[in-house]
Amino acid sequence: MIKAYRSNCEAISLSADHKVTQISDDIVWIDLINPSRAEEMHVESLLGMELPTREDMKDIEPSSRLYMEDGNVFMTGSLVWNADSRDPRLTDVAFVLAGKRLVTIRYAEPKSFNLFIAAITRVPHEMRSGTALLMKLLETIVDRTAEILENSVVRIDTVAAGIFGDQARSKRKAPRYLEDKIADISAYHRLISKVRDSLASLSRLQSFLHATPNVQQDKEAREMGRSLSRDIQSLSEHASFISGNLTFLLDAALGIINVEQNAIIKIFSIASVVFLPPTLVASVYGMNFNVMPELQWSYGYPLAVFVMLISAIIPFIFFRWKGWL
């Protein structure tokens, strides 16, 4: 699908089936969403330039993701997609400054694009050029990334409360309670890792963009670029801090599981020691010898039971006195 936006924010569709041979001068943004090869070739013919393919966008070499050719600026960044689900992903998005136009190529629909499209009418008319729209779009992407981190912090605090709160200290917890918390921590760690990768990609993209003539010749674009660089740096540091907290929570959950397992093993160990003396007494009186005085004594059985009880109580009291129970 090909969506085009005029300088008055009017959205139109550029279908490859239409026999359009020339693009209008007032179109400032062309957005290709899951384009077919025919659609890519149609836009290439309209712009008179080659666009990066999906395979080109997957290349991790900086020279393949950030470059200039014939005065056009080609950039590929990785954005977080599907962040509100249990399966966050990174999707590569190409940003092309072709003269005064912005061209974006994407094979997913990150929420930041929908937010930008919804607010595009609030962009001042004098800023509705390709470079200005790109800076505003990057600003929206950074704001969306900040929102993802803020939502993650709230959810991670809930997980932390579950690990250290009253429910975690309760003697009767749900089956696999802490194991489920570890699964939650792993999911959030994966999300934060995706965010950090995206911020690193955006940082490289912003540094490259800031050095291009399109930005250097525009004072307002330069100021927005500096602000974006500071925001990306700040978010990267915040993401690193959140990642450290997740590592602590993971270690804490594993430590609590280990402590609980040790407590269970300790109970079984003490129980075996407590019942060892009564077992010894019972073994003695279970021997088949003819000469055992207590066998003929009327108080022999009560005495044996009493000795077994005392032999069990004494170790129990000793363990409590030593603080092992």
CB 135 within 8 A of CB 221: yes
Q: Which amino acid is at 223?
A: E
Q: Give the orientation angle of helix 130-164 with respect to helix 111-119, to 10 degrees.
A: 130
Residue 108 has pLDDT above 60, yes or no: yes
Residue 80 pLDDT more than 60?
A: yes
8 A C-beta contact, residue 53 and residue 40: yes
The model's confidence at residue 16, banded by pLDDT at 50, 70 and 90, is: low
Tokens of residue 140, six digits: 């929206």
Name residue 101's beta-bridge partners: 98
Is the pLDDT confidence value at 320 over 70? yes
| Phi then psi dihedrals of residue 19, to 5 deg | -85, 65
CB 192 within 8 A of CB 240: no
pTM of the model: 0.75
- pLDDT, residue 168, reads 54
Q: How confident is the model at residue 39 (pLDDT cuts 50, 70, 90)?
A: confident
Rounded Cα distance between 156 and 81, Å, is 19
Q: Rounded mean pLDDT of the chain?
A: 80
Distance CA 278, CA 320 (A): 19
Q: What pLDDT is attached to residue 277? A: 77
* Cβ-contact 239, 196 below 8 angstroms: yes
Give 278-296 pLDDT, tens digit per residue. Answer: 787 777 777 766 667 766 7
Per residue in 175-227, pLDDT (tens digit) is 666 677 788 888 888 888 899 988 998 888 888 888 888 778 778 888 888 88
- Choose the weakest-confidence range: 118-127, 264-273, 304-313: 118-127
Phi then psi dihedrals of residue 21, to 5 deg: -110, -10
Max Cα-Cα span within the chain: 118
Which distant-in-sequence residues (6+ apart) come within 8 Å of 244 by Cβ?
none
Spatial separation of the C-alpha atoms in residues 264 and 182, rounded to whole Å: 21
pLDDT at position 252 is: 81
Pairing of strands 101-106, 27-33: parallel
Torsion angle of the four alpha carbons 285, 287, 291, 293, in this order, in degrees rounded to the nearest 10: 0
Q: Is the pLDDT of residue 169 over 60?
A: no
Q: CA 297, 302, 306, 312 torsion: positive or negative?
A: positive
